[in-house]
Each structure stands twice: as C-alpha cells, then as structure tokens.
Amino acid sequence: MVEQHRIVVIGTGFAGIGMAVRLKQAGFEDFVVLERAGDVGGTWRDNTYPGCRCDVPSHLYSFSFAPNPDWSSTFSPQPEIEDYLRKVTDAFGVRDHIRFGRTVESADWDGDRWRIRTGEGEFTADVLVSGMGPLAEPAYPKLPGIESFEGPVFHSAEWDHDVDLAGRKVAVIGTGASAIQFVPAIQPEVEELHLFQRTPPWVMPRPDRKITPLERSVFRRFPLAQKAVRAGIYWGRESMVLGFTKLPAIMKQAQKVAERHLAQQVRDPLLRAKVTPDFTLGCKRVLLSDDYYPAVARPNVEVVTDGIAEVTPTGIVTTDGVKHEVDTIIYGTGFRVTDLPVMDLVHGRDGVSLRDAWSDGMEAHLGTAISGFPNFFMLIGPNTGLGHSSMVFMIESQIAYIVDALKTMDANGLKAVEVRRDVQRAFVDGVRASMRNTIWTRGGCTSWYLDAQGRNTTLWPSFTFRFRQLTRRFDPGQYETVAM
Ligand code: N01
C-alpha cells in the first residue's frame, strides 16, 4: 500500500521534530515524519557514549518555542537533551505524525511528486524535507587487518554498552569532540588506554556549572529571565564570528587561553609537546574540557602519535613498527559529513542523484534548496553548520523558510518550485568568496569541514543573524515554478 501525503519529512532529530512542530502550528496537517529508529532524538538518541554532553550552552541549544527551565547544568548531558526532544514531540502533539521503524531506501521525483521507498512501505509526497543531519552516519576508517581483530570493536556513535571496559586494554582512535568527552569517562575504569592521535585538538576550559534550584524556579516563573540569559549567550557567541570569519588574527589571542589551559594541566613537557596543535585555534572545531588533559596525563594512558600501519588479532602496529597490545578498539573517528548517505538516496529531475548533482562539491541555495530537485528542502544542508553557536538556531531559520515556501505555494497556486540555477550559483559563489579569509581556510589544518577537494562546504561563513535575515522570506522569483 502507498501512503499519500502533502509533505514527508525524514528524521526526528532537532531538524525533523522542529519541522513537524512548525508545520502543525502553521496549519499543515497532512504530513508524516519517517524515522528509522524506534524513538525520536537523532544524533542525541544514538550517541550514548559515556560523558556525552553538549558543548553549546543548553539555554541556547534548544528550540526558541520550547524553552526548558529545568536544564540541570549549563552544558547538558546527552540523556537530558534526548529527553527534551521526546517531551517537545509529545507537548506539541507531533508523535502521531511519526512513522517509526521506516528506513528510507530511496526518494525519487517522478516529474509530479516524490516517491519515497522504505523497507517497510512506500510513501508519496508533494514536498520532501530532509532532516537527516550530517552527524548521523559514523565514519569508519579502513584499517588494514581490522577484520582479524579478536576483541570488540565499536564506534562512539554506536557505543556497545554490553562491553564491560573494566580491566581492559583499550585503543581509542581519534581525538575529536567525542573522544575528548569519553576518554576521561573511561580512563579510570580501563587497565590501559592507548590513544591514537592523528592531530591534537585545541582544548579550552569548559565553564560548566550546575543550574541551582533557585535559578530554575526563576526561569519557570519568569520565562523572560531565561530569554534574557539565552540572548546573552547568543550575542556572546555571535561576537566570536569575527575571529572565525573576518579577522582570523584574533584567534591567535584566544589561543593563548588554550595554551595556558594546556600548560596548567599537562606538566610533563614530552606529553605537552605531543598534544600541542600546530594550527591556529578555530581551524578545527574548538573543544571544551576540564578533564581531558588530566585523563591523558594519567599513568595508564599512552598517547600514540605514529600512524596506524595495521591491526593484528591482538593489537595495533604503528608505522614505527611498535605493536600496541589491546583487546578492545573504540573509534572516535567522527561522521560522514561531506559524503552523506542521503546523496545516494535522493534522485531529482531526470533521475539525477544528489551525488551526481554534487560531483563538484555540496551546494544549495541558502543551504536549503537545490537546483534539479523540485519541491525538495534540506535542513542542515551545505554551508549551514556552525563552529561557534547553536545549530538549533540555524535549523529554525531554515524551517521558517520552508514553512513560508509552503504558504507561498498555496497562496499562488503553485504545484512545484525549483530554485533557479543562476540564483543558486550566485549564492554559492558568495559563500565561497566569504570562505577565503576564514580561520577554517587559513588556519593551517585539514578538518572534516572540508571536502575531498579542500572546499569548505559545511560551515556558514558569517553571522547567524545574517542567515536568519536571508531565510526570512521565500522569494518565488528565485524559483522556476509550475502552476497547479
Ligand atoms: O569526530 P571528529 P567527533 N586514523 O571528526 C580522527 C559534533 N559533536 O565524533 O583530526 C586516525 O571531530 C580525527 O583525526 P584528524 C561536533 O560537531 C558535538 O569527535 O582528522 N585518526 C579526529 O581526531 C563535532 O565536531 C558534540 O587528524 C582518525 C577524530 O578521529 C562532530 O560531532 C560532542 C582517522 C574525529 O574527530 C564530530 O565529532 C561530540 C583515521 N583513519 C561531537 N579518521 C557536542 O558537544 C579520523 N580520525 C555538541
């Protein structure tokens, strides 16, 4: 049986849930949200590794329409964020619109509408919205010999809680945002921790603290107080954009804080040299932690900086010929951000896949609409990511744009809209020009922000309020349109 709907949304992370709530509030009732798992939450449901928490303050990292006065600390732990998404789903009455256990296998524009096939049934939609975020598919490095390894192997985003790490000799591969959170959490338990570091990250102090019961009751009774705190965090973070995008020299100053943090927390000069980055702060995502350096300085931790040559049944051999005996391997190797699985699922006009449309790199008008893909909108699309502030703010900007697109279509009797190629080109050229002077381009590093050609197709190179202005109104003049 084929289910027919006006709108199909894919995914129930912040993007899909936010979209569903706003659709409902705007009076669009004929929509479903397809979710592969059994509950909502997206990356905040899947990432259950020990120590997982948000590195953006929760008063900002939440929906503007659903403030939560009950956050327990300034940087919330993962279970609280997952719980928040569940509560928003129920409080705004969108759970009935969600079809759980539906893994999208393909989405094809048939010239008239979208045909979405899942392993468990087919759907059609006039309009398709992707809420499949970029932090959904774990990236597994191809390590020679890994299939011969005898012990458990898992990724931080697919943590195997059945493996008791007590007394184990564990290899952790990667030192990014996830690893710096779970390394301090598992270090006291494991017998040995071999940390395979390809590039040391910059780590800043984490100004986390418990939110007191008094503060929480103030936020409950006076929502404006929480709004004011949120605004303060927003503008504080926004001021960082100058350093990231316009005046990278500022980052050298900010780097001094990270240098001091490192010097205070790592006394051993040899270890300090090993974990000192050789690029400017901000080139890769800036990490926050007060317990990462103390953990790596413990006697049961070895930071391995030689590359991995091969994996044997009982360990990892590095390029210097040393064999590191381990019985467990944990990947903290991040996600497929510029090689999104959605690229192979979605086929637009003339059967062209997103992968083919993006053979020269990911691009979209306002990070949301793609020429060749009528009635398709992508949340957290190309160049909408942030290194300094809350993705929820960007997601809400995109959602408002999509809701306005739907209203405009209704008001003007439009059956289909497809962004004009020249409009997309002009927008993307502007983004690329803005990227030239950013710290991500000039900071002296490679990062997952960049694609295989070295282009930054992931981050938004300006202020987030600028993005909000640009997405405030859907302009049908920028689109090829088909009347009803
Ligand atoms: O992944 P990463 P992550 N051999 O890509 C290394 C979000 N997040 O999961 O730097 C050896 O940052 C790689 O080395 P290098 C946040 O947006 C948010 O930690 O490429 N090493 C790096 O050290 C974040 O940015 C929170 O040289 C290999 C690491 O693995 C994003 O998720 C918390 C390798 C990957 O780091 C991803 O973070 C956690 C190989 N073959 C995550 N391949 C919040 O608090 C990769 N590496 C909101």
Residue nearest to atom 6 of ligand 1 (CA): 174
Which segments of 331-387 does DSSP mark as H helices, in order? Answer: 342-345, 354-357
Integer Cα distance of 202 and 330 in angstroms:
21
Tell me how far the alpha carbon of residue 330 lies from the centroid of ligand 1, in angstroms.
13
Q: Which of 43, 178, 285, 329 to mutate to test the pocket of ligand 1 (most atoms within 8 A of CB)?
A: 178
Residue nearest to atom 39 of ligand 1 (CA): 178
Atom of ligand 1 nearest to the CA of 385: 17
Contact between residue 196 and residue 304 where contact means Cβ atoms under 8 Å apart: yes
DSSP assignment letter at 213: H
Tell me how far the alpha carbon of residue 334 lies from the centroid of ligand 1, in angstroms.
4
Domains 2-137+336-483 and 146-206+236-331 share a fold: yes
Residue nearest to atom 9 of ligand 1 (CA): 334
Q: Which CATH architecture has domain 146-206+236-331?
A: 3-Layer(bba) Sandwich (3.50)
Tell me how far the alpha carbon of residue 426 lies from the centroid of ligand 1, in angstroms.
32
Q: Which of 74, 142, 143, 198 to mutate to test the pocket of ligand 1 (most atoms within 8 A of CB)?
A: 198
Integer Cα distance of 402 and 131 in angstroms:
12
Residue nearest to atom 46 of ligand 1 (CA): 333
Place of tokens 């605004």: 231
Residue nearest to atom 20 of ligand 1 (CA): 447
Tell me how far the alpha carbon of residue 331 lies from the centroid of ligand 1, in angstroms.
9
- For the domain covering 2-137+336-483, report its CATH number: 3.50.50.60
Tell me how far the alpha carbon of residue 177 lies from the centroid of ligand 1, in angstroms.
6
pLDDT tens for the chain, 484 residues: list them: 899 999 999 999 999 999 999 999 999 999 999 999 999 999 999 999 999 999 999 999 999 999 999 999 999 999 999 999 999 999 999 999 999 999 999 999 999 999 999 999 999 999 999 999 998 899 999 999 999 999 999 999 999 999 999 999 999 999 999 999 999 999 999 999 999 999 999 999 999 999 999 999 999 999 999 999 999 999 999 999 999 998 888 899 999 999 999 999 999 999 999 999 999 999 999 999 999 999 999 999 999 999 999 999 999 999 999 999 999 999 999 998 888 888 999 999 999 999 999 999 999 999 999 999 999 999 999 999 998 999 999 999 999 999 999 999 999 999 999 999 999 999 999 999 999 999 999 999 999 899 988 999 999 999 999 999 999 999 999 999 999 8
Integer Cα distance of 456 and 444 in angstroms:
14
The reply to whether the predicted model has a pTM over 0.85 is yes
Per-domain residue ranges of the chain: 2-137+336-483, 146-206+236-331
pLDDT at 452: 86
Atom of ligand 1 nearest to the CA of 448: 5
Q: Which residues form the pocket of ligand 1, taking CB atoms under 6 Å from any ligand atom?
A: 54-56, 135, 141, 156, 173-179, 181, 196, 198-199, 285, 308, 332-335, 448
Q: How far is CA 122 from CA 7, 31, 130, 348, in A?
A: 14, 14, 16, 17
Tell me how far the alpha carbon of residue 438 lies from the centroid of ligand 1, in angstroms.
20
Cα dihedral value 353, 355, 361, 366, nearest 10: 50
Atom of ligand 1 nearest to the CA of 141: 41
Tell me how far the alpha carbon of residue 136 lies from the centroid of ligand 1, in angstroms.
13
Kindly provide the residue ranges of all beta strands, DSSP E only, lying in 140-263, ordered along the sequence: 153-155, 169-173, 192-196, 203-204
Residue nearest to atom 21 of ligand 1 (CA): 174
Neighbours of 241 (CB within 10 A): 22
